[in-house]
A and B are shown apart, each in its own frame.
Chain A
Amino acid sequence: MSWEPVIGIEVHVELMTESKMFCGCAVGFGGEPNTRVCPTCLGLPGALPVTNLAAIESIMTIGLALGCRVSERSVFHRKNYFYADLPKNYQISQFDVPVCLDGHLDIDVDGETRRIGIERAHMEEDTGKSTHLGAGGRIQAAEGTLLDFNRSGVPLVEIVSRPDLRSAVEARVYAQELRAVIAELGVSDVRLEEGSIRFDANVSIRPSGEEAYGTKVEIKNMNSFRSLERAVDHEIRRQSELVDSGGLVVQETRHWDEEAGVTHSMRVKEGSSDYRYFTEPDLVPMAMSPEWVAQIGERLPELPADRRARYLSQGLDPGTAGALSNLGGTLRAIYDDAVLSGAPAKAAANWLTGEVVGWLRKTESVSEDLPLHGSALAELIAMVEDGSTSSSAAKDVLDGVLSGEGPPREVAERRDLLQMTDTEALEAAVDQVLASHPKARDELLAGEEKALGFLVGQVMKATQGKADPRAVNRILRGRLSG
């Protein structure tokens, strides 16, 4: 039977606000355990939460970037469950009135744009971290557990997609695109390895053409885009094979084992878990006025998809547009300035995504420190085009510019990388070569093209390589046809 996978992604994003969601403790990664804590994020008796408005602005920013509607009024709920690293044994989260609703994210897969629905984005607080001692870090048979509450209460945005994804590749591209958008917004450092962005996937299958959804399985513990794609792919295959062989998919949470490349059952959900949600009585409802929403909307930066569209309209191919879009803001600004200074878009993009990125990698430098202005890049490109320097010599010129030796022409002069563009001097050199090689001249006159190459080579030799071969070519042909 042919199965169609149905995939939805839940994304948790830790915001990098200065302070935590409901208290004044600093937000940060790592550090000495239990040093960024206070009565509120430790859940001490009597302590109360107060909403961090900076976090609310961040989730509104995310929501608007994803085309969501921002609720005019939103409330927090308590999600009740017992867990050792959840200090109050309830999480302050949102239930039926999230801050953001009904958005979408466009993704490009195989040259086709797919619009993936976003059901909601809601605000909540992160939990602490458990470290199980012994037993290979697993909770079963652990000798003890250490608790670190530095992360407890860090603002967390949960973004829930609609089940609109149809393949593991789409799931991966969606996750990458979402990460790119959030990185662009500057509200989170979106580091997968530090867990500041985390992905869970809901996977089910249904017979192709069928409308009704199958039983969904939630998979967790994917800590790279590659593992997300692998895990989803594996889960689709597992479910298809299971059903093909007469089995039934059970609703459960499965854990992705990166090394073994399989998912393991973590816990079977018997019905839906009862979190006994109720309105958080310690927090007053939030009001998001249209003025406030508009203010945040005005501050939105250009998003990756819009930027790629702009690059395409400037004449870049999709591959280059994507590569350029993924470069940091500094390099993209150099591109914009170069184009403004008259550089052809394609050349500017190619230099940046190729030579400049290569140079940064080779010298282990960061783009923020680059002494390269867009106008300098435009000048360099113009020098190649007008023959002032050869394209290979231009790479040396770039190296000089990036090393801080000055503007391109100055570097080219100092490094002796300019080509002869003085037509009179070139013509004299050509005449001299023709005079000293009559045999080749006659052959060329008789139409033997290989003599041309020989003569060009002789001119280059006579000029110690500084002549522009294209100019020499042109002059030679002019001499003989006249």
Chain B
Amino acid sequence: MIATSLAEAARLLRSGETSAVDLLSEALATASRTEAQLHAFLTIDTDGAMVAAGQADADLADGIDRGPLHGIPVALKDNMCTRGVETTAGSQILAGYIPPYDATVVTRLRSGGAVVMGKTNLDEFAMGSSTENSAYGPTYNPWDLSRVPGGSSGGSAAAVAAGSSLLAFGSDTGGSIRQPSSLCGVVGMKPTYGTVSRYGLIAFASSLDQIGPISRTVEDSALALETTWGHDPLDSTSYPGDYPDPKAGLERGVEGLRIGVVTELSGEGFEPSVEAATTDMVARLEKEGVEVREVSLPTFEIALSAYYLIAPAEASSNLARFDGIRYGLRVDGATTEELMARTRAEGFGPEVTRRILLGTYSLSAGYYDAFYGQAQRVRAAIQEDFARAYEQVDVLVSPTSPTVAFEAGARTADPLAMYLSDICNIPANLAGHPAISVPIAVDDAGLPIGFQVMAPPLGEELMYQVAAEVERQAAFALSPPAVGAVQ
């Protein structure tokens, strides 16, 4: 491998030891070697990426340096619109759909000199925790090909873990960046709601969706965030104020910080290996000088229920536009209503259909208050719980996922079991707070375990400060054996 992190690749690019074309060629070669087993990508845009890489090299030669992502191959979850490149959201209903515009995050990546190499697999419309709900077939975990990579950004996490790209982007509505990053042994980060523009992200649940980076290192994550976040006038919910410097605290250490271990995110349902690794990491941090406190956030117990009312409600409305009239799949019918109904019946998979029905129901007259209204009140209570916790501690920590990667097919027949995969992640989405998953260990079977750090809104500097220390303490080596096996 030319470089094991984008920060290293960036140095080699500037010292002339490598080129953007070389980095891309290596990424493409790795992908072509592993894709048959992993299926991390839905589209690889070799031609477009080569042009971009060539341009990146030419720019650098001309002394034009577009920043830390200049010349770095990047993979994008296939729910981010890319001009001229098919974007399906993992759904049959958008098969062949070619957006006429770039999502803001894509625009920022391109102007930051990044080389967009392809689009990664996901659960249909980002609804799922295993990437098994993709209409185009599942993605497998590079650490064990019989297991899921997590989801919904499973393609992005698997691509980074396998070395097919140095950096990827995912979207996180209820853990969809952090959980697959945990299961694939990479760093996944969900920024504060409103800091990375949602313009051009195919919406699942607008009030929860947030784009974020998946990378090999914490520093790479901070560099990727720095390039892509910032106020966007095209997104009304975009944060207009001052942004922190995500890199500022990377080398600072954690001495004197107060860390809260969330009581509710342990015990029943959590694998012993996961709990042991978490406890061990907390102890290491304590040795580095942090003050550790047990913190209880009782509303976390009902966060999942609230999430499964709010997210499907918004999804039922967001996905109404896929009707066969203007783009995507069309299944004809005798009337317009029949055309729409048939298109949707055929175009959406079972999990998406389930959530649309759930959401439609919870928004219906007579039920609204008991369901959606009540869930919004729970959401407010969760925010208050967080606020109380942050009076006592600077950051909150927990496992990212209660389990390591599970066997493919193990939870597909049981939606509730699948939904529980995101139990540690959903509170940060409901509150709109930043959170990151850092790999800290492997279990006895050699499967990665992730550690989650949550911070108050716009607390990215502090969050990265702690995450960087976690990374140093873990000394986790990213070496998925499955990828090694196919090399």
Binding site for B on A (CB under 8 A): 39, 42-51, 78, 80, 82, 84, 87-90, 139, 145, 147, 272, 274, 276-278, 281-284
Residues of A within 8 A of B363 (CB): 80, 276-278
Closest to B88 in A: A45
Stretch at the interface among B37-45, B202-210, B256-264: B202-210
Stretch at the interface among B4-12, B25-33, B97-105, B420-428: B97-105
Residues of B within 8 A of A50 (CB): 233-236
Taking the nearest CB of chain A, how far is it from the CB of B286, in angstroms?
Answer: 40
Closest to B336 in A: A84
- Pairs A–B under 8 Å by Cβ, sample size 19: A43-B321, A43-B326, A44-B99, A44-B326, A45-B81, A45-B202, A48-B198, A48-B236, A50-B235, A80-B320, A87-B321, A88-B320, A147-B325, A276-B360, A276-B364, A278-B368, A281-B237, A282-B237, A283-B236
Taking the nearest CB of chain B, how far is it from the CB of A37, in angstroms?
Answer: 10
Interface string of B258-283 (1 = CB under 8 A from A): 00000000000000000000000000
Residues of B within 8 A of A284 (CB): 236-237
Interface string of B285-326 (1 = CB under 8 A from A): 000000000000000000000000000011011001111011
Contact indicator A46/B364 (Cβ below 8 Å): no
| Residues 186 to 245 of chain B near chain A (Cβ within 8 Å) | 198-203, 205-207, 233-237
Contact indicator A44/B327 (Cβ below 8 Å): yes
Taking the nearest CB of chain B, how far is it from the CB of A283, in angstroms?
Answer: 5
Residues of A within 8 A of B79 (CB): 46
Known A-B contacts A48-B234, A78-B317; the reply to A89 vs B207 at CB < 8 A is no
Contact indicator B200/A46 (Cβ below 8 Å): yes
Closest to B103 in A: A46
Taking the nearest CB of chain B, how far is it from the CB of A78, in angstroms?
Answer: 5
* B87 in contact (CB, < 8 A): yes
Contact indicator B100/A90 (Cβ below 8 Å): no
Residues of A within 8 A of B161 (CB): none
C-alpha gap A276/B317 in the complex (Å): 9
C-alpha gap A272/B323 in the complex (Å): 24
Contact indicator B337/A90 (Cβ below 8 Å): no
Closest to A274 in B: B365
Contact indicator B317/A90 (Cβ below 8 Å): yes
* B405 in contact (CB, < 8 A): no
Closest to B322 in A: A45
A-B residue pairs, 5 tightest by C-beta: A89-B320, A281-B206, A281-B207, A276-B363, A46-B200
List 8 extra interface pairs beyond A45-B203, A48-B235, A276-B360, CB under 8 A.
Answer: A39-B99, A43-B326, A48-B236, A50-B233, A147-B325, A278-B313, A281-B205, A282-B206
Interface string of B328-368 (1 = CB under 8 A from A): 00000000110010000000000000000000100111001
Residues of A within 8 A of B81 (CB): 44-46
| Residues 360 to 378 of chain B near chain A (Cβ within 8 Å) | 360, 363-365, 368, 372
Known A-B contacts A274-B365, A278-B313; the reply to A46 vs B237 at CB < 8 A is no
Residues of B within 8 A of A278 (CB): 313-314, 317, 363, 368, 372
Contact indicator B198/A82 (Cβ below 8 Å): no
By the criterion of a CB under 8 Å from any partner CB, how many residues of chain B are at the interface?
A: 45
Known A-B contacts A46-B202, A272-B365, A278-B372; the reply to A80 vs B317 at CB < 8 A is yes
Contact indicator B236/A46 (Cβ below 8 Å): no
Residues of B within 8 A of A145 (CB): 336
Contact indicator A281/B326 (Cβ below 8 Å): no
Taking the nearest CB of chain A, how far is it from the CB of B43, in angstroms?
Answer: 15
Closest to A82 in B: B340
Majority SS of interface residues in chain B? loop
Known A-B contacts A44-B99, A44-B100; the reply to A282 vs B317 at CB < 8 A is no
Closest to B360 in A: A276
C-alpha gap A283/B203 in the complex (Å): 14
Contact indicator B203/A46 (Cβ below 8 Å): yes
Residues of B within 8 A of A82 (CB): 320, 323, 337, 340
C-alpha gap A397/B287 in the complex (Å): 104
Residues of A within 8 A of B94 (CB): 45
Residues of B within 8 A of A80 (CB): 316-317, 320, 363
Contact indicator B327/A84 (Cβ below 8 Å): no
Taking the nearest CB of chain B, how far is it from the CB of A436, in angstroms?
Answer: 92
Contact indicator A45/B236 (Cβ below 8 Å): no
Taking the nearest CB of chain B, how far is it from the CB of A377, in angstroms?
Answer: 51
Binding site for A on B (CB under 8 A): 79-81, 87, 89, 94, 97, 99-101, 103, 198-203, 205-207, 233-237, 313-314, 316-317, 320-323, 325-327, 336-337, 340, 360, 363-365, 368, 372
Residues of B within 8 A of A43 (CB): 321, 326
C-alpha gap A234/B265 in the complex (Å): 68
C-alpha gap A80/B317 in the complex (Å): 7
C-alpha gap A283/B368 in the complex (Å): 20
Known A-B contacts A50-B235, A278-B363, A282-B237; the reply to A45 vs B317 at CB < 8 A is no
Contact indicator A89/B323 (Cβ below 8 Å): yes
Taking the nearest CB of chain A, how far is it from the CB of B112, in angstroms?
Answer: 20
Taking the nearest CB of chain A, how far is it from the CB of B95, in angstroms?
Answer: 13
Taking the nearest CB of chain A, how far is it from the CB of B329, in angstroms?
Answer: 13
Closest to B340 in A: A82
C-alpha gap A204/B87 in the complex (Å): 52
Contact indicator B336/A45 (Cβ below 8 Å): no
Contact indicator A90/B99 (Cβ below 8 Å): no
Contact indicator B97/A45 (Cβ below 8 Å): yes
Residues of A within 8 A of B199 (CB): 46-48
Taking the nearest CB of chain B, how far is it from the CB of A50, in angstroms?
Answer: 5
Taking the nearest CB of chain B, how far is it from the CB of A404, in angstroms?
Answer: 50
Residues of B within 8 A of A47 (CB): 101, 199-200
From A43, A48, A87, name the one whose CB has the most chain B CB atoms within 10 angstroms.
A48
Taking the nearest CB of chain A, how far is it from the CB of B103, in angstroms?
Answer: 6
Q: Which of A51, A139, A272 contacts B236 (CB 8 A)?
A: A51
Contact indicator B201/A46 (Cβ below 8 Å): yes
C-alpha gap A94/B228 in the complex (Å): 33
Residues of A within 8 A of B365 (CB): 272, 274, 276
Contact indicator A42/B206 (Cβ below 8 Å): no
Closest to B366 in A: A274
Closest to A280 in B: B206
C-alpha gap A282/B320 in the complex (Å): 15
Taking the nearest CB of chain A, how far is it from the CB of B233, in angstroms?
Answer: 7
Taking the nearest CB of chain A, how far is it from the CB of B199, in angstroms?
Answer: 5
Contact indicator A282/B99 (Cβ below 8 Å): no
Taking the nearest CB of chain A, how far is it from the CB of B378, in angstroms?
Answer: 16
Known A-B contacts A48-B198, A145-B336, A278-B372; the reply to A87 vs B237 at CB < 8 A is no
Residues of A within 8 A of B198 (CB): 48
C-alpha gap A139/B360 in the complex (Å): 27
Contact indicator A89/B321 (Cβ below 8 Å): yes
C-alpha gap A272/B275 in the complex (Å): 53
Residues of B within 8 A of A272 (CB): 365
C-alpha gap A139/B237 in the complex (Å): 39
Taking the nearest CB of chain B, how far is it from the CB of A61, in angstroms?
Answer: 22
Contact indicator A281/B321 (Cβ below 8 Å): no
Contact indicator B326/A46 (Cβ below 8 Å): no
Residues of B within 8 A of A277 (CB): 363
Contact indicator A45/B314 (Cβ below 8 Å): no
Taking the nearest CB of chain A, how far is it from the CB of B484, in angstroms?
Answer: 37
C-alpha gap A39/B201 in the complex (Å): 12
Known A-B contacts A42-B326, A44-B100, A272-B365; the reply to A49 vs B321 at CB < 8 A is no
Taking the nearest CB of chain B, how far is it from the CB of A445, in angstroms?
Answer: 94
Closest to A282 in B: B206
Closest to A276 in B: B363
C-alpha gap A89/B343 in the complex (Å): 14
Residues of B within 8 A of A274 (CB): 364-365
Residues of A within 8 A of B80 (CB): 46
C-alpha gap A281/B317 in the complex (Å): 11
